[in-house]
Amino acid sequence: MLDVRAAFPTSSLADLYDPLTMPPTLVKAHQELDKAVDLCYRPQAFASEAKRMEFLFELYEKYTAGLFVKEKKGKS
């Protein structure tokens, strides 16, 4: 990813990630990264970005459950 972005030294991140003008090499690099990350979690790719996000948020909720519970103060 960094190598591909480095090929565009005069472009800002806003320029590089504009959906209308994103360089095809950067799109491909992101697709390859998505596949690699997907394989860390399951043997097949996700059907869509929405499915990937749904899965990751459910995983986040599972691992953070109980971390943000306020302790009840007892009566003094």
Q: What are the tens digits of pLDDT across the range 2-57?
A: 999 999 999 999 999 999 999 999 999 999 998 898 999 889 888 888 999 999 99
**Is 73 within a domain?**
no
pLDDT computed for residue 60 by the predictor: 94
Written as one string, the DSSP assignment of 6-72 is HT-TT--HHHHT-TTT--HHHHHHHHHHHHHHHHHH-SS--SSHHHHHHHHHHHHHHHHTTTTPPPP
> What residues make up the domain containing 26?
2-64
Count of the separate structural domains present in the chain: 1
**pLDDT for residue 68:** 78
Q: What is the predicted pLDDT for the residue at 76?
A: 60
Residue 12 lies in a domain: yes
Residue-level pLDDT at 73: 72
